Amino acid sequence: QVQLVESGGGLVQPGGSLKLSCAASGRLFNIGVMGWYRQAPGNQRELVTTITSGVNTVYADSVKGRFTISRDNAKNTVYLQMNSLKPEDTAVYYCYIRVFRPLTGWNDYWGQGTQVTVSS
């Protein structure tokens, strides 16, 4: 039983900032990649950013220099700091984790999604 609870979404003006959080609980043996995806209306879900257990990061070109991903392993939590937000950042943001178990290998889990709306 693995649960991901997201928080921090909301309405923000262009140029503003938001910080998303995603806390994982349950059968967590070894968390590998954690990250964030987003899906705008009518679009496919796309990668925003990921962070490995070694804190290596990957960012979509559209958010480089504006978004920062971080993780707190003691709290099993991943964060997304979003600065200089643009209207095109408006989407539902989904937390993602990949967990390794010795008998089953890697398993993927998703949060419920949190709405981020950037509008003046």
CB 34 within 8 A of CB 78: yes
pLDDT under 50: residue ranges of the chain: none
CA–CA dist 35, 111 (Å, integer): 10
pLDDT at residue 73, rounded to an integer: 85
pLDDT at residue 65, rounded to an integer: 97
pLDDT at residue 16, rounded to an integer: 98
CB 81 within 8 A of CB 8: no
CB 82 within 8 A of CB 19: yes
CA-closest candidate to residue 108, choices 21, 25, 34, 7: 34
pLDDT at residue 80, rounded to an integer: 98
Output the CA–CA distances (angstroms, integers) from residue 61 to 65, 66, 101, in the order listed: 9, 10, 32
pLDDT at residue 1, rounded to an integer: 75
Parallel, antiparallel or unpaired: strands 77-82 and 67-72: antiparallel
pLDDT at residue 31, rounded to an integer: 85
